[in-house]
Structure 1
């Protein structure tokens, strides 16, 4: 069900509950019924006029990333990474070229650099897995975006479609095999180091790792 449908259902339920209060008050005096009806009308009106916060496609992708993959980065950093990804896909850059430049070292905080640097060699192994696993989906997005460009869709539309497709990909079913393979690629000592120093690098515990 869409957000619009859910909102309409919620408003309808609120109005029905308010109207039910009026019906229940029917055994009271006319004045009480009138006051109840006025209150119900004002409550419903307030709900209808209350501004709704809509989540943008990019923010949805950010939220999914932080829920299912990593909490290492801030929303602002993830926004830059997503923009860079969308820009690279729009420019038809190969995944390997894009992947290596998604975030610059000077965009990271000192604490983030410490987390990444303490992983050492295991991080290199992790990146190898990520490259192999994510490249096919990156290429699928690229095909979609190139088709949109060919049909003269705007750059903004192409960017939003990229964010939507990233969000669709970020599911537990897709992420679990990736993190499991990363763990399998590491020695016991490397895994202990990553697990101890990189708990925010990837959300291992969410997948029982």
Structure 2
């Protein structure tokens, strides 16, 4: 074969090899990018999983604090209704004594709960008197804040949320213990035994050494 033919054949082979190499590089490159993207996606997954799935509302925080620090007598749903009633009363600028007297309505209690409260009799009346006296100043403080919010044009939802926030803020151990101690002091020895036995879930006495 003439030298020119050999040279032409060699050049043709070289071109073919070069083209094949380019095609191979092009086809492998997306794979590397895809793998890199997959790795980045996998790396991002744990941080996504660590994000909180749901937010705890102000009212839920108040319910949790009531059940943790004050009473387990009521269910979460009942406490939610009581807090809504409190917020509604404060928003409507209802006097404290009127609100306090109707805060826990019979229709939200079960028959068993109503019977337990009725069995407490006079000791419960004395306990409620202490609670009323102790809570009134804070009720008035919340009312002042809510009325100011209403005057500034804040929405009803904002005002309700602020009630829940302030109610939760009120519920701390150093504030609750003197109230429960005051209730105990207002009772005779026999009345205290009745409350301590029949109303064990009504207030978390043992959490305060009572």
| Range class of TM-score, shorter chain | 0.7 to 0.9
CA distance in structure 2 between the aligned counterparts of 1:112 and 1:188, rounded to whole angstroms: 24
Length-normalised TM-score, structure 1: 0.79
Superposition misfits of 4+ residues, deviation over 4 angstroms? none
Aligned equivalent of 2:144:
143
Aligned equivalent of 1:7:
none
Length-normalised TM-score, structure 2: 0.78
**CA offset at residue 110 of structure 1?**
1.7
Aligned positions, number: 174
CA distance in structure 2 between the aligned counterparts of 1:51 and 1:184, rounded to whole angstroms: 45
SS of match in other structure, 2:102: coil
CA distance in structure 2 between the aligned counterparts of 1:105 and 1:202, rounded to whole angstroms: 19
CA distance in structure 2 between the aligned counterparts of 1:159 and 1:110, rounded to whole angstroms: 29
CA distance in structure 2 between the aligned counterparts of 1:102 and 1:159, rounded to whole angstroms: 15
Aligned equivalent of 1:48:
48
Q: CA RMSD in A?
A: 1.8
Contact 1:115 1:201 in 2 (8 A): no
Q: Which has the higher contact order (CA 8 A, sep 6+)?
A: 2
Consecutive unaligned residues of structure 2, counting only runs of 5 or more, are: 1-34
What is the correspondence of 1:24-173 to structure 2 with a 5 Å cutoff?
A: 38=39, 42-48=42-48, 52-173=53-174
Aligned equivalent of 2:17:
none
Structure 1 residues 43 and 95, CA gap change in structure 2 (3 angstroms): farther
Consecutive unaligned residues of structure 1, counting only runs of 5 or more, are: 1-33
